[in-house]
């Protein structure tokens, strides 16, 4: 562990501590690779998670992916992120457009959050144009397939490191 001197005291240098990012995947994302590949691509969720973990290693951050089709499980996981993770990358799937509970959980833990989507939600059905998460997120990336996740992770890590420096 690195230390720095503050007022003649040696204290841990938390700016050099590894960051931990929670990656949340919402409902139906477990079907990636077989569900509407023309919209969501051909990569499976396991392949996307593998790419995120590899990108995390390049960025020197720990990436912890989790998927659930159940809103309450996602809410509980967000609550449990406090004290464990420094940021959240979320593709809430259909809950993006319907879940005040997820929005309130994210606002409640107050961790920097980036919302991502594989497809461009603004070029799809009108009901997908509204996001309950976007107003409390630091940013949103959609429409770039798996790159949405990777760009979101990079942006979140940049944001967290900028705030520490």
Residue among 107, 105, 108, 159 at smallest CA distance from 137: 107
104 is in an annotated binding site: yes
End-to-end CA distance of the chain: 17
Residue among 149, 89, 96, 139 at smallest CA distance from 118: 149
Please report which residue ranges of the chain form alpha helices under DSSP H. Answer: 37-40, 45-59, 71-80, 100-109, 146-164
Taking 3-state DSSP, the helix, strand and coil percentages for the chain, each rounded to the nearest 5, stand at 50, 20, 30
Give Cβ neighbours of residue 158 (< 8 Å, ≥ 6 apart): none
Catalytic (active site) residue 117: yes
Question: What are the structure tokens assigned to 77, written together?
Answer: 């996981």
Q: Check 25, 40, 95, 149 and give the catalytic one.
A: 40
* Angle, helices 100-109/71-80, rounded to nearest 10 degrees: 0
Catalytic (active site) residue 132: no
8 is in an annotated binding site: no
Q: Check 25, 85, 95, 117 and give the catalytic one.
A: 117
13 is in an annotated binding site: no
128 is in an annotated binding site: yes
Which residues are annotated as catalytic?
40, 117
- Annotated binding residues for substrate, written as ranges, equal 91, 97, 104, 118-119, 128
- Annotated binding residues, written as ranges, equal 91, 97, 104, 118-119, 128
């Amino acid at each position: 562990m690195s230390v720095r001197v503050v007022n003649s005291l040696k204290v841990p240098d938390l700016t050099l501590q590894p960051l931990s990012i929670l990656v949340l995947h919402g409902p139906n994302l477990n079907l990636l690779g077989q569900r509407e590949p023309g919209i969501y691509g051909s990569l499976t969720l396991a392949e996307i998670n593998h790419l995120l973990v590899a990108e995390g290693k390049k960025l020197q951050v720990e990436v912890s992916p989790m998927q659930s089709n159940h809103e309450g499980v996602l809410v509980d996981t967000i609550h449990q992120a406090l004290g464990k993770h420094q940021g959240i990358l979320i593709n809430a799937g259909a809950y993006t457009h319907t879940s005040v509970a997820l929005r309130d959980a994210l606002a409640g833990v107050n961790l920097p959050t980036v919302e991502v989507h594989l497809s461009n939600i603004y070029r799809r059905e009108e009901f997908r144009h509204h996001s309950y998460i976007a107003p409390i997120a630091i940013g949103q990336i959609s429409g770039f397939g798996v790159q949405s996740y990777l760009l979101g992770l990079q942006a979140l890590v940049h944001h967290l490191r900028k705030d520490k420096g």
